[in-house]
Amino acid sequence: NFGMIITTVITLTAGTIFLMWIGEQMTEKGIGNGISLIIFAGIIANLPRATLNFFHIIGPGKQLSVFGAVLVVAVILAVLAFIVFMERGQRRIPIQYAKRMMGRKMMGGQTTHLPLRVNTAGVIPPIFASSILMFPATIAQFSDVPWLQDISAWLGPSTYLYMGLFVALIMFFCFFYTAIIFDPKDISENLKRQGGFIPGIRPGIRTKEHIDRVLTRITLWGSLYISAICVLPMLLIKYMDVPFYFGGTGLLIVVGVSMDFMGQIESYLISRQYEGLMSKGKIKGRR
């Protein structure tokens, strides 16, 4: 029914735009990234139902034994701990600033670092990769063309072709998105302008090449880490017949948004404490 298709497209588009507007309002007037929090809430909303379904399949003669259930919970906790560890991981490049005379004061001379996250791209690569792989199946739902149905079957989530393409696309988008959001040339120029340099590396082109080389190595390990997290649930379902109600992308989103949200709350509380100390100092000074 062509009218039904048009109505569905308009409804989904309008709903998406409305959710984007709500997310922008949350970002401007609240704490955290609004759109990420909406996705986070949608994933967490399925947690109670998934927990009940998990307990229903535990017991003698059922899909999982008690030992198997404990093993599954241990694997999930280990995966969550590994995600937190990798999301916190950084490669710190030491930065030194040359001493300069400004008036009668000697400025600079301090040592700091440039933090490079292991997972610089975040959850964008698996989201893009899964969206591309889901596109043929989505088109096949609205068509009876045989070759489209064959492609949809080949790209099923449990097939080796899907897993291989998924890993390849994740690694591609990790490098692609990192290159978009992080420019080593701008970093090297800003350091040179501010009198900063990497010990043992000449400012300018050499600094840019060094940062680019380190970032490439980190991004490679980050892409392998994201690929492993996203493919692990598929392997558990395929080979061990273990019910895994959350995909790897969902786990990355939940952990990443939670850590970002808690970090922003901590920064907000610290800033409020400093504001309180400053206001108390002003009051005491007036007295």
List the structure tokens of 65. 């034994």
> Residue 278's CB: how many other CB atoms inside 10 A?
10
C-alpha 220: how far from its chain's center?
A: 15
Query: What local confidence, expressed as pLDDT, does residue 245 receive?
Result: 64
Mean pLDDT of 237-243: 71
Query: What local confidence, expressed as pLDDT, does residue 139 receive?
Result: 78
99-121 pLDDT, tens digit each:
665 556 666 567 888 899 998 88
Query: Rounded to whole angstroms, what are the CA distances from 277 to 274, 284, 287?
Result: 5, 11, 16
Per the prediction, the chain carries an average pLDDT of 82
The percentage of residues in the chain with a pLDDT greater than 90, rounded to a whole number, is 19
Q: Over 70: is that where the pLDDT of 281 sits?
A: no
Residues with Cβ within 8 Å of 82's Cβ and at least 6 positions away in sequence, in order, are 229
Residues with Cβ within 8 Å of 210's Cβ and at least 6 positions away in sequence, in order, are 93, 198, 201
SS3 of residue 266 by DSSP: helix
> How far is it, in rounded angstroms, from Cα 179 to Cα 215?
9
Q: Which of 271, 54, 266, 249 is nearest to 169 (CA)?
A: 249
Mean pLDDT check: name the lowest of 5-14, 20-29, 134-143, 170-179.
Answer: 134-143
Mean pLDDT of 190-214: 88
Q: Which of 170, 193, 64, 166 is nearest to 121 (CA)?
A: 170
Query: What local confidence, expressed as pLDDT, does residue 102 receive?
Result: 59
Mean pLDDT check: name the lowest of 59-68, 163-172, 227-236.
Answer: 59-68
Q: Which residues pair with 187 in a beta bridge?
A: none
List the structure tokens of 22. 């709500």
Q: Over 80: is that where the pLDDT of 63 sits?
A: no
If pLDDT is split at 50, 70 and 90, which confidence band does 277 have? Answer: low
161-179 pLDDT, tens digit each:
888 999 999 999 999 999 9
The residue behind tokens 């992080």 is 182
Query: What local confidence, expressed as pLDDT, does residue 153 receive?
Result: 79
Orientation of helix 146-154 relative to helix 124-141, angle to 10°: 150
If pLDDT is split at 50, 70 and 90, which confidence band does 244 have? Answer: low
Orientation of helix 2-29 relative to helix 34-44, angle to 10°: 120
Q: Over 80: is that where the pLDDT of 200 sits?
A: yes
Q: Which of 180, 177, 84, 182 is nearest to 124 (CA)?
A: 177
21-48 pLDDT, tens digit each:
998 888 888 777 788 888 888 888 888 8
Residues with Cβ within 8 Å of 25's Cβ and at least 6 positions away in sequence, in order, are 34
> How far is it, in rounded angstroms, from Cα 116 to Cα 219?
10
User: Contact, 197 vs 207, CB < 8 A?
Assistant: yes
> Residue 76's CB: how many other CB atoms inside 10 A?
15
Mean pLDDT of 135-159: 77
Identify residue 37 by its one-letter amino acid code.
Answer: L
If pLDDT is split at 50, 70 and 90, which confidence band does 283 have? Answer: very low
Give 58's DSSP letter: B
